[in-house]
A and B are shown apart, each in its own frame.
Chain A
Amino acid sequence: MTEILQVVFDALSLGSLYALGALGIALIFGVMRLVNFAHGDTMAFCVFAMLWPSVDAAAIVFAGNLPAWLLIPFILAVGAGLSVLSEIIVFRRFRNTNPATMMIASFALGFVIRYFLLMLYSSRPKSIDLWSNLGLPVEILGARIPLLQVITIVTAIAILIALTFFLKRTRFGLEMRAAAENFTMARMLGVRANRVIMLAFALSGMLAAAVALILVTQTGTADIQMGGNIMLIAFIATVIGGLGSLPGAVFAGFLIGAIATVMQVVLPPEARPFRDAFVYAAVIATLIWRPNGIFMPKSAKQRV
């Protein structure tokens, strides 16, 4: 029983990360038909924003020393700022080009961000001790669950609720949903294209920052590659969920988290090192079954 509970918490906390990552990609895809491959590098940038630039092996923690109530808004602002800047400097010029061109632009931007970090901080992973007391276990229904897992899950749920409220109940949210479905028609009703797109980038950047904070607390390291793996899985989740569908992205994020965790448990020990191969096989099977994703949004029919 307690083992099952442990697996459930593992699956939910891993799924939370994937879901938040996927949501950051789906939000931008919704309004711009852009798959932003720089999203993972935005996460890494947020982590390094806590450190003072230096190529030494030891991290010089700078902003990371702020108390949590200042550090969290600061990192969220860094994510939002970098993401909005990417829009203004890069993606705006590619608005009406085809999706492949935009995707390549996002790859290029990702490399620029990564090499910028490499220049300032070197490629060596550095250890950072952020909120390490969160690794201590708490007892839930007899199972000992790391506090960080509980916080991760609660944070993800809070973000999902807040975002749903924003999208469903506010004027901006309404405009964003309309723009995601039919951008030109929304503009003909007076919806300001630039504002909606910048807002989508800001939200996406904040989601990247949230993932970055959770990742760095979990791993205790800052690594310029750290966004890469989660970006890949988040991208896969948005495809499985149905590109452009926000509920689909969240659902698929949790689904992949669950599949990966369960496989870790049920696979025979000698097969475990190849777990990811099984996860990706499940991904391929899902896509054969549903080539347009599990939840295909209405807009995808005409626009993708």
Chain B
Amino acid sequence: MTLLSVNDITVRYGRLTALRGASLTLNEGEILFVTGPNGAGKSTLMKAIAGVVKPVGGSIAFRGETISGRSPEDIARMGFSMVPEGREVFGSLTIEENLRLGIGMRADRDQAARDLEMVYSIFPVLLSRRHQHAGALSGGQQQMLVIGRALMAGPKLIAIDEPSLGLAPKVIDDVYQTLVKLRDTIGLTLLIVEQSATRAKLTGGRMILMRSGEVALEGDARELASSDALKQAYFGYGEHGK
């Protein structure tokens, strides 16, 4: 069943067009990787879905309802949980307060309490430091915290913008293992932005490749990641070349 569909959206920052007719669909229980070079518009696509930037054209539907034009809080309350790039922890709040923020919109308080335990069992380091300020955590721990916080909202769909950025390979492995486990156990749907296709190849799922604000390629993550078409899309057009 289709959970999210982005239809032909255009986003501008002043005179710069960051997305020009980007589309994607995401089915329930699926993992979709969004890859592409720096500046391709991946983060802008995430922000448009989250309602933080407003598309000037096209539409976005989530759980069968049009969400383009709605406020970020309304979209979050429908079950869309966003982990933006740059790990936006609330540094002056404690770790537990960061996690509890995600619960605010939930009616099922018992389940929320169990989810808090689940998050602590996935990331034990958060439990041992739960009364410390989040600003004191290391980069890897902050990444765990923002993923944990996104889970506390009890989402249908979780979108993560560059979870690997700045993390040690071992920590990245742990994060992905957790995400895949959540997909398998609670049926979480995942939308993951990564600049390189390496992770998509390891994890599997579907993948789209963005370039200059458009979706250039789409297909099975493993197949696409090893294809020549991908290399060409990254390097073949004389773009940023990264």
Interfacial residues, chain A to chain B (CB-CB below 8 A): 171, 174-175, 177-178, 181-182, 184-193, 297-299
Nearest-CB distance from A241 to chain B (Å)?
15
How far apart are the CA atoms of A174 and B100 in the complex, in Å?
Answer: 9
Bound-state CA distance A171–B106 (Å) is: 13
In the bound complex, do residue B71 and residue A193 qualify as a contact, i.e. CB atoms below 8 Å apart? Answer: yes
User: How far in angstroms is the closest Cβ of chain A from B170?
Assistant: 27
The total of chain B residues at the interface (CB under 8 A) is: 23
Task: Please indicate the chain B residues that have their CB under 8 angstroms from the CB of A174 in the complex.
Answer: 93, 97, 100-101
Q: Separation in Å of the B39 CB from the closest CB of chain A? A: 21
Complex Cα distance A53/B93, Å? 47
Give me 5 A-to-B residue pairs in the complex whose CB atoms sit less than 8 angstroms apart, sorted by A's number. Answer: A177-B92, A185-B90, A188-B82, A190-B77, A297-B92
Within the complex, which residue of B52, B90, B104, B153 is in contact with A171, where a contact is CB–CB below 8 Å? Answer: B104
Q: Which residue of the partner chain A has the closest CB to B106?
A: A190
B93/A190 in contact, CB under 8 A: no
- Docked pose: A70 CA to B87 CA in angstroms: 49
Q: Point out the residues of chain B lying under 8 angstroms from A186, CB to CB.
A: 90, 101
- List chain B residues, Cβ under 8 A from A193: 71, 73
Known: A181-B90, A186-B90, A193-B71. 9 other contacts (CB 8 A): A178-B90, A182-B90, A185-B84, A188-B52, A188-B76, A189-B101, A190-B77, A190-B104, A298-B91
The answer to whether A192 and B73 touch across the interface, beta carbons within 8 angstroms, is yes
Report Cα–Cα, A297/B133, bound state, in Å: 13
How does the 8 Å CB contact mask read for B68-111 relative to A, with 1 for contact and 0 for none?
A: 00011100110000101000101111000100111011000000
Bound Cα distance from A161 to B165, whole angstroms: 42
* Contact residues in B for A187 (Cβ distance below 8 Å): 52, 71-73, 76
Shortest CB distance B165–A (Å):
17
Q: Is there contact, CB below 8 Å, between B76 and A189? A: yes
Asked if residues A175 and B104 are in contact (CB atoms below 8 Å), the reply is yes
Given the complex of chains A and B, what is the CA–CA distance between A191 and B73 in angstroms? Answer: 6
B104, A189: Cβ atoms under 8 Å?
yes
Interface of A is mostly: helix
Within 8 Å of chain A (Cβ to Cβ): is B187? no
Q: How far is the CA of A159 from the CA of B172 in the complex (A)?
A: 47
Task: Tell me the complex Cα distance, A190–B81, Å.
Answer: 9
Query: Smallest distance from the beta carbon of A72 to chain B beta carbons, Å?
Result: 32
- Please measure, in the bound complex, the distance between the C-alpha atom of A137 and the C-alpha atom of B101, giving whole angstroms: 49
Chain A neighbourhood of B91, CB < 8 A: 181, 298
Whether B149 is near chain A, meaning CB under 8 Å from some CB there, is yes
The CA-CA distance from A185 to B149 in the complex, in Å, is 11
Given contacts A184-B52, A190-B105, contact A178 B93 (CB under 8 A): yes
Interface centre among B102, B104, B153, by most A CB within 10 Å?
B104
Smallest CB separation, B234 vs chain A (Å): 30
The residues of B that contact A175 with a CB separation of less than 8 Å are 101, 104
Chain A residues, CB < 8 A from B90 = 177-178, 181-182, 185-186
Point out the residues of chain A lying under 8 angstroms from B157, CB to CB: none
Q: With the chains together, A186 CA to B24 CA distance in Å?
A: 26
Chain A CB within 8 A of B124 CB: no
Q: A188-B82, A189-B149, A193-B71 are in contact. Are A181 and B92 (CB under 8 A)?
A: yes
Q: Answer whether residue B135 sits at the interface, using C-beta atoms and an 8 A cutoff.
A: yes
Instruction: Give every chain A residue within 8 A of B105 (Cβ-Cβ).
Output: 189-190
| Contact status A191-B71, CB under 8 Å | no
A181 to B88 CA separation, bound complex (whole angstroms) = 10
| Residues A188 and B92 in contact, CB atoms below 8 Å apart | no
CA A299 to CA B93, docked complex, whole Å: 12
Task: Considering the complex, give the chain B residue whose CB is closest to the CB of A168.
Answer: B97
- List, in ascending order, chain A residues with CB within 8 A of B84's CB: 185, 188
CB of B22 within 8 Å of the partner chain? no
CB A157 to nearest CB in B, in angstroms, measures 23
B40 is an interface residue with CB less than 8 A from chain A: no
Closest 5 CB pairs of A and B: A190-B105, A187-B72, A190-B76, A185-B88, A298-B91
Bound CA–CA A269/B154 (angstroms)? 68
Structural contact, A184 and B104, CB atoms closer than 8 A = no
Do A190 and B153 touch across chains, with their CB atoms under 8 A apart? yes
Chain B stretch 153-210: residues in CB contact (< 8 A) with chain A: 153
With A177-B92, A182-B88 as contacts: A188 and B50 at CB distance below 8 Å:
yes
Contact of A191 among B50, B104, B149 (CB under 8 A): B104
Q: Which residues of B contact A192 (CB under 8 A)?
A: 73
What are the residues of chain B within 8 A of A185 when measuring CB–CB? Answer: 84, 88, 90
Residues from chain B with a CB closer than 8 A to the CB of A190 are: 73, 76-77, 102, 104-105, 153
User: Which of A171, A181, A184, A191 is the one whose CB lies under 8 Å from B93?
Assistant: A181
Query: How distant is the Cα of A111 from the Cα of B54 in the complex, in angstroms?
Result: 35
